[in-house]
């Protein structure tokens, strides 16, 4: 039986600003709406704790991180957990290209924030096949 | 008249992205922070204990902290204790919901009605704990507000906007970064503690948040007192 490869997606847990909520919403849009068969969401808090299953998932799959601020917690923790970050997405970098999509609201994003999350998810989705191919190539090299 | 130091309670949510109860933990924490007890509560992103600096890891040693976890894995409670300090109280959403007969919580992205009920229930529990902590007499260690410091100390910026200020002091010719020093200075000055009488209290506070090498205590004392005297004079102008 062949193992279906997937990409693990790790958003940051930013709770103080809307950009953190955008990272979370983008991850849900990607994992639940756009590419549910190819992605697997990993809670960042599990990597803080060093939970074995979560560490194993980030070590054995290519990881896409989505961070809400420049401290890049998700990206750093994947690396600390022994994983490989295949794509490192910064919400702020995407926002600089879409200045009209200013996110507001932490508990509940405004429509611009939701749209920014959809843009980020779509951009990741477009490159996901490439990430999967890279990870497959890496395994066979 | 300067603002008096204010006790605040830290709330740390697991925010677990995989499960709906993780979403409940996050929304309940936000409800308390923004609606129910604004100004009385502060938060920090849990991952900053690893990805951030010493100022972030000092969070639970500085604020009496309540952790709120979605599930029995208790990532926030255990992670906080591992990297920062033992939480004053902990709440687990799944347990609280079960105890109160809340139905199946679902919808990590958009909570179902049971999830929304759990947010209300968890927020009520957190609020009650915040009030209990604030009603108790101040513990041995001082609890002061970051906003009480008139200087602009170096802080670690993050998506949660928190972090404990640090100050670099030259001790025996070496720069030493001391955690919470700006707040300790601010607290002492606001209580009218002049440098000539504050040395013992100053050092006791510094040693709560910083490891002072046994062989260098006298040098630390001299340097910190020198800095406090300068700070005191600045405030008296």
- Name which CATH class applies to B9-135: alpha beta
Q: What is the pTM of this model?
A: 0.79
Question: Of B16, B17, B74, B119, which to mutate for an interface test with A (greatest number of A Cβ within 10 Å)?
Answer: B17
B159·A69 Cβ contact <8 A: yes
B157·A14 Cβ contact <8 A: no
Which chain A residues touch B20 with a CB distance below 8 Å? none
Using CB atoms, which residue from B19, B157, B159 is nearest to A20? B159
A53-111 tens-digit pLDDT:
999 999 999 999 999 999 999 999 999 999 999 999 999 999 999 999 999 999 999 99
Residue B179 has pLDDT above 90, yes or no: no
Per-domain boundaries in chain B = 9-135, 165-236
Are the C-beta atoms of residues B199 and B185 closer than 8 Å to each other? no
Q: Return the closest-CA partner of residue B178 out of B142, B215, B228, B141.
A: B228
Supply the pLDDT for residue B190: 83
- The number of CA neighbours under 13 Å toward the Cβ of B120 is 7
* Chain B residue with the nearest C-alpha to that of A106: B30
Q: Which range, of A93-107, B92-106, B135-149, B210-224, averages the lowest pLDDT?
A: B135-149
Residue B4 has pLDDT above 50, yes or no: no
- All domains of chain A in start order, with CATH: 7-129 (3.40.50)
Distance from CA of B149 to the nearest CA of A (A): 21
pLDDT mean over B183-199: 88
- DSSP class of residue A2 equals P
Distance CA A112, CA A114 (A): 5
Distance from CA of B87 to the nearest CA of A (A): 15
Are the C-beta atoms of residues B164 and B57 closer than 8 Å to each other? no
Residue B205 has pLDDT above 90, yes or no: no
Using CB atoms, which residue from A11, A51, A76 is nearest to B51? A76
Q: Which chain A residues have any C-beta within 8 angstroms of a chain B C-beta?
A: 11-17, 19-20, 24-25, 27-28, 32, 41-49, 51, 68-74, 76-77, 80, 106-107
pLDDT mean over B205-224: 87
- Those residues with Cβ within 8 angstroms of residue A71's Cβ, 6 or more apart along the chain or in another chain: B48, B51, B52, B156, B157, B158, B159
Supply the pLDDT for residue B152: 42
A20·B46 Cβ contact <8 A: no
* Chain B residue with the nearest C-alpha to that of A46: B75
Distance CA B189, CA B167 (A): 16
Which chain A residues touch B68 with a CB distance below 8 Å? none
* A-B C-beta contacts closer than 8 Å: 125
Supply the pLDDT for residue B6: 63
| Buried-state track A95-115, b at ≥16 Cβ within 10 A, e below 16 | beeeeebebeebbebeebbbb
pLDDT mean over B24-37: 98
User: Which tokens hold the place of B18?
Assistant: 């995989």
B29·A15 Cβ contact <8 A: yes
Supply the pLDDT for residue A141: 37
Helical pair B113-135 and B20-31, crossing angle rounded to 10 deg: 40
Supply the pLDDT for residue A114: 98
Distance CA B3, CA A141 (A): 64
Using CB atoms, which residue from B46, B157, B161 is nearest to A48? B46
Residue A18 has pLDDT above 90, yes or no: yes
Tokens 């925010």 appear where?
Answer: B15
Q: Return the closest-CA partner of residue B227 out of B169, B165, B155.
A: B169
Question: Of A45, A108, A117, which to mutate for an interface test with B (greatest number of B Cβ within 10 Å)?
Answer: A45
Residue B141 has pLDDT above 70, yes or no: no
Task: Read off the pLDDT band of B138 (50, 70, 90).
Answer: low
Q: Give how far Cα B124 sits from Cα of A3, B37, B87, B91, B98, Å.
A: 45, 11, 18, 11, 15
Alpha-helix runs per DSSP H in chain A: 18-28, 44-49, 52-60, 73-80, 91-97, 111-140
Using CB atoms, which residue from B46, B50, B158 is nearest to A69? B158
Residue B84 has pLDDT above 80, yes or no: yes
Torsion angle, alpha carbons of B217, B219, B220, B226, to 10? 140
Which chain A residues touch B156 with a CB distance below 8 Å? 71
Distance CA A110, CA A123 (A): 20
B17·A24 Cβ contact <8 A: yes
B82·A73 Cβ contact <8 A: no
The answer, yes or no, to whether ipTM is higher than 0.85 is yes
């Amino acid at each position: 039986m062949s193992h279906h490869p997937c990409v693990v997606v790790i958003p940051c847990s930013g709770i103080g600003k809307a950009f953190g909520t955008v990272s979370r919403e983008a991850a849900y849009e990607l994992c639940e709406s756009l590419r549910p068969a190819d992605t697997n969401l990993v809670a960042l808090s599990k990597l803080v704790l060093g939970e074995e299953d979560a560490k194993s998932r980030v070590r054995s799959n290519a990881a896409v991180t989505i961070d809400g601020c420049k401290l890049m917690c998700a990206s750093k923790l994947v690396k600390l957990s022994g994983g490989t970050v295949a794509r490192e997405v910064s919400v702020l970098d995407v926002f600089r290209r879409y200045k009209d999509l200013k996110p507001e609201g932490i508990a509940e994003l405004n429509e611009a924030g939701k749209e920014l999350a959809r843009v980020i998810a779509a951009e990741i989705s477009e490159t996901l096949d490439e990430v999967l191919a890279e990870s497959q190539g890496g395994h066979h090299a | 008249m300067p603002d008096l130091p204010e006790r605040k309670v830290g709330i740390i949510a697991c925010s677990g992205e995989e499960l709906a109860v993780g979403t409940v933990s996050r929304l309940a924490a936000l409800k308390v922070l923004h609606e129910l007890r604004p100004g009385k509560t502060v938060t920090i992103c849990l991952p900053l204990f690893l990805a951030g600096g010493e100022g972030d890891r000092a969070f639970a040693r500085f604020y009496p902290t309540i952790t709120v976890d979605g599930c029995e894995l208790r990532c926030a409670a255990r992670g906080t204790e591992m990297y920062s300090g033992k939480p004053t109280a902990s709440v687990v959403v799944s347990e609280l919901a079960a105890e109160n007969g809340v139905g199946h919580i679902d919808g990590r992205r958009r909570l179902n009605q049971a999830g929304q009920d759990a947010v209300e229930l968890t927020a009520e529990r957190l609020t009650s704990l915040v009030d209990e902590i604030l009603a108790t007499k101040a513990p041995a260690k001082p609890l002061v507000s970051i906003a009480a410091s008139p200087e602009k100390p170096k802080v670690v910026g993050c998506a949660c906007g928190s972090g404990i200020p640090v100050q670099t002091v030259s001790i025996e010719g070496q720069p030493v970064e001391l955690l919470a020093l700006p707040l300790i200075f601010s607290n002492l000055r606001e209580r009218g503690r002049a440098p000539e009488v504050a040395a013992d209290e100053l050092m006791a506070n510094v040693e709560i948040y910083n490891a002072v090498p046994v062989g260098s205590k006298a040098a630390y004392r001299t340097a910190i007192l020198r800095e406090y005297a300068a700070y005191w004079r600045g405030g008296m102008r």
